[in-house]
Every structure is written in structure tokens, then in C-alpha cells.
Amino acid sequence: MDEQTRKKNIRRTALIVGAVALAFYFGFIMLGVMRS
Amino acid sequence: MTTATVDGHAAGHDDHDHGPTKGIKRWLFSTNHKDIGTMYLIFSLVMFFVGGAMAMVIRSELAVPGLQFVHPEFFNSMTTMHALIMVFGAVMPAFVGLANWMIPLMIGAPDMALPRMNNWSFWILPVAFGILLSTLLMPGGGPASGWTMYPPLVLQTGDAFPFLIFSVHLMGISSIMGSINVIVTIINMRAPDMTLLKMPMFVWTWLITAYLLIAVMPVLAGAVTMLLTDQFFGTSFFLAAGGGDPVMFQHIFWFFGHPEVYIMILPAFGVVSEIIPTFARKKLFGHDSMVYAASCIAFLSFIVWAHHMFTVGMPLTGQLFFMFATMLIAVPTGVKIFNWIATMWRGAMTFETPMLFSLAFVFLFTIGGFSGLMLAIQPADVQYHDTYFVVAHFHYVLVPGSVFAIMAGAYYWLPKWTGHMYNEKLGKLHFWMSTIFVNITFFPQHFLGLAGMPRRIPDYSVQFADFNLISSIGAFGFGLSQLIFVFVLLTAWKGAKATDRVWEGSHGLEWTVPSPAPWHTFTTPPKARIADEAFE
């Protein structure tokens, strides 16, 4: 795997994992909004 | 397992251009995984002693009945801060430190995938804990509602409240960034031939832990954000008077809180899984089944949270579900325990300090696991809930569990970090003192709990006096024993020169680089070999 592809993969994995974290954060706040 | 065919010295020496910057800048602006790992480990040790000092305050007050030294409100503050500091400041950063040091070395990567973020995720931590500790000096004192921060009690915190919330957010951000880095590194930076199932167990357990962190730290952040808006922005998420539900906080908190337990124990499983094969001079028994068991534990950790809330009241089906789901965790955990025993079976075992800590881990963590099984039984939990039995249970899991594994890992990898062998005699003394005193501290707490002594109280009935005194003596002994560890660390550079492989039975890429590990390693990916020649 060349360096360019590796960097692209690193960026993509980081963005996906970060997006999952944000989804959990806002998802659980939305759960609170809907319950209260 | 993987053995590098590349010459270890070449792996260390083919680097090149520069060493570390001189002075404070080396540490402030470091993007080097080894430097950041070192900072994490030192930070966690400092926090271990700060949290430990708070434990000494707690045990001093509880040594004899009656109010002795501190105001009850300050006592509550100590129990709260002790827990927050030990969980988020000592145990978690210690494992992140080990991960920073060892994961790139174990998978043959030159560094973590996102080194600048790595620097940031470390330096957030001292700020977070500086803020948290500063609350002790504020009007109204530090947070005193327990580390669980249940409303409405936590909303009665004085000026410390917003600082508590802010520091928890910062700890969460740091953990999330750290785990993003671990996942991205493991997924993208492995040596060419190292497939996922060939990864060492420490790397595997950290990959699973990082996914757990990604899923649950934002949940804690969401919960404390809602606390903040309830306090300052007129919302009623958890305020019954405004139509909110305080029990919902408990559900959300424990959806974070139970996986958090496994966040603190899965990397410990990984450390022990590295050490036992080394000192038994055998391959880890059932490597793949260990991976599946760890994944299974991680999955189950998401569906057991309400066992912390049996006494809150819930439908019978809920009680049954959470009871049986919790008991189910014993199965994959048992797989791990039996695999470690099978690894040792007929092995040519020796008992250096890392192995001693690992053996104590297996035995004493199992005691914590068994008391956990007792607490999982819903009708029994109604009796045990909020007693010292619970305190004994989770301290058995966290102290001779997580903390012993961290100690084991520190002794195991210390020669690789410093290039010198530590003082084995002092290491063994540290082990025996710690093991004896940890049991004197926490075992009597089982009896106190079964006799009905409630937790989080500064005073108690005279019937609990004897066991409390024994527990306090044990706690002071355990605290003093840790000074031996500090001495071992301070003199770690004075021992005999360590070889590259350090331990006779060690194997894996990290042992192919020189000791001490050079500042840059694996700048060109090692040609890893699938077969582990050392054990064939």
C-alpha cells in the first residue's frame, strides 16, 4: 500500500469513528429530549 | 503470533534524521508515541497517589467508629473525587500509556496514526484534572454526590458543579481522541503480514476497548450535558418537578458505566495474556478463543447496565433479563481464566515480578468476579445493594485486577523502555506487600457488607468496628507498599543492561527492537512472519 492510500485510509477511518462518537453523543441527548 | 525476520537492530537503527528536541519542548509538543506513552504513565502514577491519598483520608476516618478527622461533607467529597481520579485519572490513562508505548511496537508501526491528536489527547488530561482538583478549594467544596453524579443530589453541588461537568467533558474528549487513534492505528498501520487474528492479545483487547470507548464516552458526555442544561438553562431532563425523570439519568449513566468496567479490565486481560505465555514458555492457549471471548464480553457489557439499578424498581421481565445477561458474562470470562491456566499447564514456569502480579491477577480478579456473580442475582442484590459488599467487589476487580495488571505490564516492559533490568528483589517485595495488604484491606469489607454496613458513610455502628480497623490497617500498608514501586522506578536505570529480547520466553515484534527502544522504530515496515519460530 502506498503512502497516499494509507493516509487516505487513516483519514477515512478516523472520520467514521469520530462520526460514530458524535452520533452516540447527540443520539442520547435526543433520547433525553424525547423522554422529557 | 508474529515474529519479525528483520534484524532487530536494523529496525532500530535505520532511523535517520533526528532525535528528540531538548528541554520542555520535547514533552509539550511531542508527537512521538513513546514520549506520549511515558507522559501518560507518569501522569497516571501521580493521579494514583493523589487518589490514594484520598483513600487514606477515607480509611483514617473509618478506622474507628465516630467522627474523627473530617467533616461528613468533605468525606463525601473524598469518596467522589477518589473514584473519579482513580477511574479517569489513574487506571484509564495508565492503559492508554501502555497502549501508546506498546501497540506501535507490537504491530510494527512507526508511530500512532494521528500523532498530533495523540499529543492533544494527553495534554487535555492535566487540564481536566487540574480543574477537578481545584473544586476542592471552591465555596461549597468539591463534588460530593458520588462518581455516579445522580440527580437531583448532584444538582445541589455548590460552585464546583459546572467545573465538574467541564472536567468530565474534557476527560471524555481525551478518551475519545485516544481511542480514535488506537482504532485508526491498528486498522491501518499493521506490518504487512500481520492479519487481524495474528495480532497479539494486548493489541486485540485494546482494539475492542477502543470501540467500547467510542460508544460509551459520548453517552456519559451527553448525560452530563443534560445535567448542565437542567442546572443552568431551565430544562427538566432529570427533574421530576418539571416533568423529567431522575431514573433516566441512572439508565443513561450505567449504559456508559458498565462498559466502563470492561474498558478498565479488557486491556488488563491483554497485558496478562502477554505475560503468562512468556513466563510459562508456551504459546497462549486458545488465542482465537480469547479474541472471541473478549468480543463477547464487550457485546454483553452493553446489555447488562440495569443490574446496577435492581433496587430502583423495574418490571419482573427486566429484572430477569438483566440478571441472566449479567450471569452470562461469566462464560467468556471463564474461557479466559481457563485459557490462562491451560497456558501455564506443563509450562516451564518461572516467577519473576510480572508473572507474580499476573498470577495474583488471575486468582484475585476471579474472587471479584465471583462476588460479581453474587450481586447479579437480583433477589440477593436487594440485600447487598449499597453495602460494603459492593465496595469489596469492585475493589477486587479494580485493584488486584486492573492495577495489578498495570503493575505487571510496567515491570514486564520496563527493561524495554529503560534498557536496564529493574531491581527484581524490590519488585518481588513490592508484589508480596501489595498482595498481602490488598487482601487485608478489601476482604474484610465483604463481611462488613454482609453484616449490613452501608457504603458512603463517615461513621458507623460499633458492631462494624473490628473489620473496619483491619481494613484501614491494610489500606495504609498497601499505600506504603506503593512507595517501593516508586523507588524501583527511580532506580530503574541502575540495573544490569537489558538484552533486546529481555525475557527468555518473550516473543513478538516489540522484542526485536533494541533495549531501550530507540526514539524511532519500524520506520520501514518489518517483514513479519506468520509462524512463530520460537515455539515450533
Scanning B281-315, the segments in alpha helix (DSSP H) are 287-300
- Local mean pLDDT, 10-residue blocks, chain B (536 residues): 43 56 90 97 98 98 95 96 97 98 96 96 98 95 96 94 97 97 96 91 97 97 97 95 94 97 97 97 96 97 96 95 97 97 96 98 97 96 96 97 98 97 98 98 98 96 97 98 97 94 94 94 77 43
A20–B187 CB contact, under 8 Å: no
Residue B175 designated active-site: yes
Whole-number pLDDT of residue B530: 44
Q: Which residue from A13, A24, A31 is facing B215, i.e. has the nearest CB?
A: A24
All residues of chain A having their beta carbon less than 8 Å from the beta carbon of residue B113 are 10, 14
Q: Residues B129, B163: contact at Cβ < 8 Å?
A: no
Neighbours of B81 (CB within 10 A): 24
C-alpha closest to that of B507 among B430, B412, B441, B399 = B412
Residue B387 designated active-site: no
A24–B248 CB contact, under 8 Å: no
Positions of chain A with pLDDT lower than 50, given as ranges? none
Residue B273 designated active-site: yes
Whole-number pLDDT of residue B71: 95
Question: By CA distance, what is B524's nearest residue in A?
Answer: A3
> Tens digit of pLDDT for each residue in B404-453?
999 999 999 999 999 999 999 999 999 999 999 999 999 999 999 999 99
Whole-number pLDDT of residue B150: 97
- Exactly one of B307, B385, B395, B430 is catalytic; name it: B307
E strands, B92-249, are none
Whether this prediction's pTM lies above 0.90 is answered by yes
Whole-number pLDDT of residue B76: 97
User: How far does Cα A20 stand from its chain's mean position?
Assistant: 3
* B176: helix, strand or coil: helix
Whole-number pLDDT of residue B280: 97
Residues 6+ positions from B88 with CB-CB distance below 8 Å: B128, B129, B168, B171, B175
Whole-number pLDDT of residue B496: 95
> Tens digit of pLDDT for each residue in B166-187?
999 999 999 999 999 999 999 9
Q: Is the ipTM of this complex over 0.90?
A: yes
Q: Residues B15, B524: contact at Cβ < 8 Å?
A: no
Residue B333 designated active-site: yes
Q: Which residue from B180, B223, B236 is facing A17, i.e. has the nearest CB?
A: B180
Chain B residues within 8 angstroms (CB to CB) of chain A: 113-114, 176, 179-180, 183-184, 187-189, 214-219, 221-223, 225-226, 235-237, 242-245, 248, 252, 255
All residues of chain B having their beta carbon less than 8 Å from the beta carbon of residue A21 are 176, 180, 214, 217-218
